[in-house]
Amino acid sequence: MGFMVQVVHVLRLAIASVARFFFSLYYGNEGAKIPAITDDILKKPAVEVAKKIRNKEITSVEVLETCIRRIKDVNSALNCFIEDRFELAMKEAREADALIQSGSKTPEQLEKEKPFLGVPFTTKDCMAVKGLHHTSGVVLRKDLIADRTADVIRLLEESGAIIIGLTNVPELCMWWETHNHLYGRTNNPYNTTRIVGGSSGGEGAIQAAAGSIFGVGSDIGGSIRMPSYFNGIFGHKPSKHTVSNDGQFPAAETELHDAFLGIGPMVRYAVDLKPLLGIMAGEKSSKLKLNEPVNVGKLKVYYQFSSDSLLVDPVDKDITEALKKVVEYLKVKHNVNAEEKKIELLKKSVPIWMNTMKEKKKYEEHIMVNHGVFAIIVEMFKNIIGCSGNTLIGLITALSDHTGAEYGDEKYKYHVALKEKLEKEFAEMLGDDGVFLYPTHPTPALYHNEPLMRPFNFSYTGIINCLGLPATSIPLGLGREGLPIGIQVVSNLNNDRLCFAVAEELEKGFGGWIEPQKS
């Protein structure tokens, strides 16, 4: 059995390598370039932009105009921004400026009451924003306009931030390449022949390209952390039950999935993670004790190089080297002796995620009019001849939903039990002062469509969703292909602030976000 699994693994890798060769011939290595960033305000953290607006060093209207210009400059190459509310945003920016100019509140009062006053932001199109489309990349929802705004977006608006539009996602947000038959495919700002990840892929790209000041993503299998990683920015999936999942499509249908799913910030600068999560969490932010100081030198640091799963690609040497450098950096700078782990159950990341993700409702019910295996196969043929509203991977995922466990059966319960065992192991290891460093993903951004050859690579992030733990994707520079690399840092439940402290420290040591290729 073990031998056969090894043989299948080697065969899969061999086929994926041959396919990669053909992908490289097909796409070449030169994609479209995006223009250099010329406005300094786009190279500032959101907290600094907010301060400058409050202190009348720049107006909200000027910041918004700069973002709009930048979005227009980069979107033909990236196809990441899909719907705007520029006019309404401009009205809100004028109102913000008028409030500041009126002098009715001091900058200190504004900082307390409306910390992001006048700061433009974007979110993915699976989040309800009143008056904008709410499709999740599903053709059946193409005319659906949200009649209310998701809790998390409302909280950000109450903090003074201004939503300027929506970014692209994969069909039903359930794949890690951003492509659908409504808005098309999104390209990576570092190399447009490569993927941006998913499902918050449009958001990853617009943040990396500096088209908005901060972004909001959501993550049930890595959808914040993978696009953050592929696009060289910071992204945080919060502790379970911290940020309201209201107003998101698809909604989490079970208690378990509500724990897996998290909405969080996607940003160019680590310093923005904490204040944004504080606002997004609303009343629940108090349990995170975000203002408690964290001494990185006092943290217990654990790390693991690979899940050792035979269903997943080996971890790229650039990522392994980067993780080693992080361990060395923490030793030299903070005298922290990190401990290497070999957590056996991480090998089972793929079956744990795949089986515990089962719901009563079948996947195809969200994306197709006709249901059942036969209907899916018919739709696949239609896809091949270019006549389907569904993506091929959407249909493959629908088909795969007819394999493995059924919601609530013995197989499902077995995998829930495995998840609980791993949860206990992580809780004991991390305690109140521990962090776990782990690859966010085994490879840098693949060519478009290439994830089909390596479908389960998302499990490095997916397994952390099953545990409900907070995790931040941290950029660590560019690898040998000129594409972003990095790791994720995981902490115990409600210890999100430890992830932020590590993110800020590694940003200092490794440079954080790097402006993408310029024309």
Ligand X SMILES: CCCCCCCC/C=C\CCCCCCCC(N)=O
CB-based contacts of 158, cutoff 8 Å, min separation 6: 114
Q: Note the residues at the interface with ligand X (CB under 6 A).
A: 173-176, 199, 219-223, 396-397, 400, 452, 455, 458
Beta partners for residue 217, in sequence order: 264
SS3 249: coil
CB-based contacts of 253, cutoff 8 Å, min separation 6: 359, 360, 361
User: From the CB of 259, what's the least distance to ligand X, in Å?
Assistant: 14
Report how far residue 277's alpha carbon sits from residue 518's, in angstroms, rounded to the nearest whole number.
31
Instruction: Determine the length of the chain.
Output: 519
Report how far residue 422's alpha carbon sits from residue 429's, in angstroms, rounded to the nearest whole number.
10
Alpha helix ranges (H) inside 28-167: 46-54, 60-78, 86-102, 107-113, 151-158
Tokens found for residue 507: 């940003």
User: From the CB of 173, what's the least distance to ligand X, in Å?
Assistant: 5
With 0-12 / 13-18 / 19 or more C-beta atoms within 10 angstroms meaning exposed / middle / buried, residue 114 is: buried
Report how far residue 350's alpha carbon sits from residue 353's, in angstroms, rounded to the nearest whole number.
5
Q: Does residue 236 contact residue 141 with C-beta atoms inside 8 Å?
A: no
- Interstrand relation of 184-185 and 162-167 (parallel, antiparallel or unpaired): unpaired
First-to-final CA distance of the chain: 52
Q: Which of 284, 247, 280, 274 is nearest to 166 (CA)?
A: 247
Report how far residue 252's alpha carbon sits from residue 256's, in angstroms, rounded to the nearest whole number.
8
User: From the CB of 344, what's the least distance to ligand X, in Å?
Assistant: 23
Q: Which is nearer to ligand X, 220 or 301 (CB)?
A: 220
Beta partners for residue 478, in sequence order: 484
Report how far residue 74's alpha carbon sits from residue 209's, in angstroms, rounded to the nearest whole number.
7
- Interstrand relation of 179-180 and 300-303 (parallel, antiparallel or unpaired): unpaired
The structure tokens 């050859």 sit at 453
Amino acid in position 72? K
Amino acid in position 118? G
Q: Which is nearer to ligand X, 115 or 201 (CB)?
A: 201
The structure tokens 């930048």 sit at 70
Q: At what angle do helices 86-102 and 60-78 cross, to 10 degrees?
A: 160
Amino acid in position 146? A
Q: Which is nearer to ligand X, 238 or 512 (CB)?
A: 238
**Neighbour tally for 243: CB within 10 Å:** 27
The structure tokens 């690979």 sit at 306
Q: Which is nearer to ligand X, 199 or 212 (CB)?
A: 199
* Distances, alpha carbon 493 to alpha carbons 316, 368, 437, 464, 473, in Å: 29, 37, 15, 11, 17
Residue nearest ligand X by beta-carbon distance = 223
User: From the CB of 396, what's the least distance to ligand X, in Å?
Assistant: 5
Q: Which is nearer to ligand X, 13 or 396 (CB)?
A: 396
Q: Does residue 225 contact residue 263 with C-beta atoms inside 8 Å?
A: no
Residues acting as catalytic residues: 124, 199, 223
Radius of gyration of the chain from Cα atoms?
Answer: 22
